[in-house]
Structure 1
Amino acid sequence: MSEEKAADPSAAQEGRIRVCIVDDDPFVTTSLATILAAEPDVAVAGEGCDGEAAVALFERERPDVLLMDIQMPGTDGLAAAERILAAHPEARIVFLTTFSDDEYIVRALRLGAKGYLIKQEVATIAPALRSVTCGQSVLGGEVLGRVEALVQGGGPRLSGAARLAPAGVAAGSPAQSAEQAHAAAALELLSEREHAIVEQVAEGLDNKEIAAALYISEGTVRNHISAILQKLQLKNRTQLAIAYYRAR
């Protein structure tokens, strides 16, 4: 059953990052709230225990950042994020989980999440919130390693994928900008039609759906995807989707 805690009145103080925390473990939400409340520029605006509570909290509090678990009973974090972002594309959602699962990472990136952190890396959370509010996307160290493995697949560095900044890296850092530029340049190798197909792949569409959306045959879609993977030196659709989101 969804439960929410009322907003902290101090969260209205100007200049502080307003954060809502959602996790099915009350010990986690309480601990995170205590840790973040100790930060001079962070205020906890509310807490919830599942996806339904997350949707309600966001609608009511409109936090600067929603910090949310993925695996929760009932409506999970990914489903909640999808609903929130459909209604509020500008929402900043950071997933905080114990799982650096490849499928979760890819789904989170496709949804438009601004971050994916591991609960054990507690010290990175506050810096990550600051980076996200400055327009930076963030990944925890363990997750960053998984993304790099997915993107590179053991192959050459030219993959079209710029790394997300590790938690705490300031927005617009030279290294981050250079790698994003590298990714964008790699995708510039593609034709207009190929760009359209990459966008559809990144949205999770299969070949039949892409063919219908672009008014071409499934065979043509397959041929284009093979050519795209070869141009970008990628191995599969998952790597292609990550490359697309890293270059945005």
Structure 2
Amino acid sequence: MPAAMSEGPIRVLIVDDHPILREGVAAILALQNDMVIAGEASDGREAVAQYAALRPDVVLMDLQMPGMGGLEATEAIRAAHPDARIIVLTTYAGDAKAMAALRAGAAGFLLKSSLRRELLGAIRAVHKGQRHLHADVAQDIALHAIHDPLTPREIEVLQLIAGGHPNKQIAWKLGVGEETVKSNIKSIFAKLQVNDRTLAVTTAARRGIIEL
């Protein structure tokens, strides 16, 4: 029987590398009659092990952690336990981050800034088999759904642009011709609907496609 079908309070596994955040979330959950803390983990590998040992109903998974991050941990847990219900928590907004989390198998995506308002409702919704996305993120996903995503190579090029590298240096680093880089940049501009390098970088960073 799937873990989420269990009777009694919702058992929650909290995964975050910051003890203060884990303590804050635990304090919120402790006030709820229908929730209980199943356990805690400070990184992705520990989360995978804790899930296997504890089989919680819902996992709150931080996205950015040293070592194995939240996306990798979500994929690993879902591969071993397809019924796992995971809510990804992140400081960073952006449709690209959310889509990556959903593709990894997450059922929810929450910004840490909205935890006080949305955490409990998200846990209850995901426990029932529903999805929960922060409203701004859901709107961004809908807005960009019709656009072609950047390829891994285009993201690589854009990350190098963000690092201040000129085309010739990008070509050398990637082992391709400068014309190929120019073609990549033209495609990036078209997909992001921008017309200069600075705007391409800021737009991609805002959407969570690259990190600055």
SS at match of 2:28: helix
Are residues 1:81 and 2:111 paired? no
Are residues 1:148 and 2:139 paired? no
Match of 1:124 in 2: 118
TM-score, normalised by the number of residues in structure 1: 0.55
Q: Tell me the C-alpha RMSD between the 2 structures.
A: 2.5
Superposition pairs of residues 16-95 of structure 1, within 5 angstroms: 16-95=9-88
Distance (Å, rounded) in 1 between the aligned partners of 2:7 and 2:105: 27
Identity, % of aligned positions = 46
The alpha carbon displacement at 1:103 in A equals 2.5
SS at match of 1:120: helix
Letter in 1 for 2:24: S
Letter in 2 for 1:47: E
1:100 touches 1:146 (CA, 8 Å); kept in 2? no
Letter in 2 for 1:79: E
Distance (Å, rounded) in 2 between the aligned partners of 1:49 and 1:142: 28
Distance (Å, rounded) in 1 between the aligned partners of 2:104 and 2:146: 22
1:45 touches 1:63 (CA, 8 Å); kept in 2? yes
Deviating above 3 A after TM superposition, structure 1's stretches of 4 or more consecutive aligned residues are none
Match of 1:135 in 2: 129
Letter in 1 for 2:74: A
The alpha carbon displacement at 1:14 in A equals 4.9
The alpha carbon displacement at 1:152 in A equals 5.3
Any idea what the Cα deviations from partners look like across 1:13-61, whole Å, max 9, x if unmatched?
Answer: 9510000000111100010011111111010111111101110110111
Any idea what the Cα deviations from partners look like across 1:176-221, whole Å, max 9, x if unmatched?
Answer: xxxxxxxxxxxxxxxxxxxxxxxxx9xx9xxxxxxxxxxxxxxxxx
Any idea what the Cα deviations from partners look like across 1:53-88, whole Å, max 9, x if unmatched?
Answer: 110110111000010110100000000111111111
Distance (Å, rounded) in 2 between the aligned partners of 1:119 and 1:28: 9
How many pairs are equivalent?
148
Q: What runs of 5+ residues in structure 2 fail to find an aligned partner?
A: 1-5, 152-190, 193-212
Letter in 1 for 2:34: D
2:95 touches 2:138 (CA, 8 Å); kept in 1? no
1:19 touches 1:45 (CA, 8 Å); kept in 2? yes
Distance (Å, rounded) in 2 between the aligned partners of 1:83 and 1:70: 14
Distance (Å, rounded) in 1 between the aligned partners of 2:33 and 2:74: 27
SS at match of 2:145: helix
Distance (Å, rounded) in 2 between the aligned partners of 1:137 and 1:26: 27
Superposition pairs of residues 1-248 of structure 1, within 5 angstroms: 14-122=7-115, 123-151=117-145
Letter in 2 for 1:126: L
TM-score, normalised by the number of residues in structure 2: 0.64
